[in-house]
Amino acid sequence: MNRPERTASSVPWPHNGHEPMEQGNPVQVDTGSTVAMLRAEIRKTIDSNCGESNFRGAMFCALCRPGFALHPQAPCRAGILTLEVHRAISRPLNTAAMQAAVAVELHMQAAYLFDNVADRDKGPSDDLSPSEELAVAIGLLSCGQSALYEAAFASGRHGPGLRSLLRWAGDCAVHCSTGQFLDAYLEKRTMATTEEALMMTSLKAGSLGRFAAGLGASMATDDSDTVNLSGEFGYNLFTYLQLVDDLRDACKAHDLQGDLMQHKKTLPVVFFHNSLRGSNAEVVCSIIPPEESREAKADAWRRFESSGSRVFGAIAAEAFLNRAKSNLAGIRSRVGTVENLERIVSSFEITPQEVVNS
């Protein structure tokens, strides 16, 4: 099938941060180089949108934490997904694609900070208070919104097309925020249902994946079917990733810590709690505080491992991975080769046995 083409003009992407490359010339870089360029654009976006030096410094400090975008080992998964979906559809990366990736990645970084506040975490060195952490998160969202406007302008959209794009992006952001809210809301409750836990996960992580992949496609084509299919691919892939992370973090044998001991309402923990309904209340791990004895924690871990909760979580994760692979096959049928996206999926994928034994 013919590759969908954009009808709007393409704006060159400055491949080294200063000198524009020739229009339409594909960028031949590996993922490491792409991440480095994405980080450089994130820095430029914050520099150009935040004039107050202390606040700007706090944003950079937060983003340099382990796991955050400016840390040397950070994968920048959301932004890279945006770029690779764009590359699969359009081949050359340009200003619109890069600004879209910055917008998505900054949204993801803000979500990390909201999680820190919800978990009462502090930065390892900058020691921000919860109020400061929230202010930094809002600042990152604002910088991301500015990058989104730049991406929309660079894509050549105007009139109804521009309005439609911005409205769609706003809907994605609201769904992500709904997931963040539901996560905090469920933490206040003693119990939750597996349906609520899965809804929270898919809203919080899946909506961000839809935003990342759908926006990358939107910068490459006006074909709505391709954009929607790309969005579904991102939604299913990021939901799968979150479910796998939740399985790994549920209950760790080496230190008996994890989501189970911290009363989290992730899918495997909620499934475990609900499997104990009708049991003696003293054995339900949701009422075991973190300061309980190691023996009590070890008993909780043994009960969790024998409950089938990991298997249930692995099956749910596998279902989303299979949907993502199906979406990717649909994208391949529309645009041709999608080797980089296939490599991304392969790098994320782990076998069900690895998940159960994690």
> How does pLDDT run across 112-161, given as a tens digit for each residue?
999 888 876 544 546 788 899 999 999 999 999 999 999 999 998 888 88
Q: Could you give phi then psi for residue 280, rounded to 5 degrees? A: -60, 130
Query: CA 143, CA 45: separation in Å to the nearest integer?
Result: 7
Residue 35 has pLDDT above 60, yes or no: yes
Question: Is residue 94 a contact partner of residue 13, using CB atoms and an 8 Å limit?
Answer: yes
Residue indicated by tokens 């080769």: 337
Confidence of residue 83 (pLDDT cuts 50, 70, 90): very high
Burial class (CB in 10 A: 0-12, 13-18, 19+), 324: buried
- Share the mean pLDDT of the chain: 83
pLDDT score of 5:
38
Q: What is the predicted pLDDT for the residue at 283?
A: 42
Q: Is 60 exceeded by the pLDDT of residue 289?
A: no
What does the pLDDT read at residue 357?
62
pLDDT category, 254, cuts 50, 70, 90? Answer: low
pLDDT at 166 over 90: yes
C-alpha closest to that of 331 among 84, 150, 129, 143: 84
Q: Choose among 317, 305, 311: nearest CA to 245.
A: 317
Q: What percent of the chain has pLDDT over 90?
A: 61
Q: Give the confidence band of 301 by pLDDT, cuts at 50, 70, 90.
A: confident
pLDDT of 351 reads 66
* Per-residue pLDDT, 9: 32
Query: pLDDT band at 292, cuts 50/70/90?
Result: low
pLDDT at residue 15 greater than cutoff 50: no
105 pLDDT above the threshold of 90: yes
Which CATH superfamily groups domain 31-356? Answer: Farnesyl Diphosphate Synthase (1.10.600.10)
Assess whether pLDDT exceeds 80 at residue 329: yes
On whether the CB atoms of residues 89 and 3 are closer than 8 A, the answer is: yes
The pLDDT of residue 281 is above 70:
no
Task: Give the residue among 291, 284, 281 at the shortest CA–CA distance from 307.
Answer: 284
What residues does each domain of the chain span? Answer: 31-356
Worst-scoring range by mean pLDDT, 57-66, 78-87, 140-149, 345-354? 345-354
Residue 16 has pLDDT above 60, yes or no: no
| Percentage of the chain exceeding pLDDT 70 | 80
Q: Quick one: pLDDT at residue 339?
A: 93
Question: C-alpha angle with apex 266: 264 to 271, nearest 5 degrees?
Answer: 105
Mean predicted confidence (pLDDT) in 213-227? 95
